[in-house]
Amino acid sequence: MTKKLLLSAALLASTLSHAEHSKEDIKLEHNKHAHTVHWSYEGEGAPENWAKIDKKFFMCKEGENQSPIDLKGFTESELPPITFNYKLVSTEILDNGHTEQVNVKEDSSITVDEIVFDLKQFHFHTPSENNINGKSFPLEAHFVHASKDGELAVVAVMFEEGVENEALKELWSVMPTEVGKHQAIDAKHLDSLLPKERDYYRFNGSLTTPPCTEGVRWLVMKKPVSLSKEQIETFKKVMHLHNNRPIQPTNARMILK
């Protein structure tokens, strides 16, 4: 049965809690709305129809800084290192109908532009949503962060076929295969989801799912990490279909490296 694919950033709704009328509350109201509207990656609910499904999804068609993109034509820049303060301790892995989402305990964050962004969860797309110099990857992880003011930052990690990934071995071993099911997990090797070298590309983009809100900081790790062919096939089998939005126009954006 084809899974209904929902909004990536809407996953924040179950983990964020802020004062009434905050910027984050406003964004989450949009995200909750997206949960109730059927859209997908194929058929009548496919990406080319997202803006037609609901008027609140207008940015999916009219936005000028949409994600994902093909990262190329780079602009050289002195990008400061991302300060990772990750204590990657998972609490559960959830099949939410569009991906496998890993919820984590609090106290993991990154610092970018002197702003602290708290890690809320991470999840996966197959094949990769972003490309690098025209190259697609079999899997992409998105580490979703939010600041106290409701700004969003996504750290994207590409996976390429190679040796088995220890973190995915742990996660896939208890990965739910039914929508709505979740499994408590205490993974020990989640650091292997991140490359040891943390050089990155940066661009200004959007959510890759309705309502396609813009103003998201995208931080794409240059170095991919590996996973085995079997791990690729396991995830594809659970998803039943590709859960990636097509590449969007770069337009006038600069892609920094």
In tens, the pLDDT along 42-65 reads: 888 899 999 999 999 999 999 999
| Whether residue 7 has pLDDT greater than 60 | no
State the average pLDDT over residues 136-157. 97
CA 82 to chain centre: 17
Do 196 and 222 contact (CB within 8 A), yes or no? Answer: no
pLDDT digits (tens, 9 = 90+) for 160-209: 999 999 999 999 999 999 989 999 988 778 889 999 999 999 999 999 98
The predicted pLDDT at position 228 comes to 98
**Which are the catalytic amino acids?**
98
pLDDT digits (tens, 9 = 90+) for 70-108: 999 999 999 999 999 998 877 899 998 778 999 988 889
DSSP string, 61-127: HH-SS-S--EE-S-B---PPPPEEE----EEEEEE-SSSEEEEE-S--EEEETTEEEEEEEEEEESS
What backbone torsions phi and psi does residue 179 show, to the nearest 5 degrees? -60, 130
Q: C-alpha dihedral over 222, 131, 9, 99, to 10 degrees?
A: -100
The predicted pLDDT at position 206 comes to 97
| Partners of residue 102 on adjacent β-strands | 93, 122
Measured distance CA(165)–CA(130) in Å, rounded = 21
**Burial class (CB within 10 angstroms; exposed 0-12, middle 13-18, buried 19+) of 154:** buried
> If DSSP states are collapsed to H, E and C, what string results for 50-61?
HHHHCHHHCHHH
**CATH fold for domain 9-239:** Carbonic Anhydrase II (3.10.200)
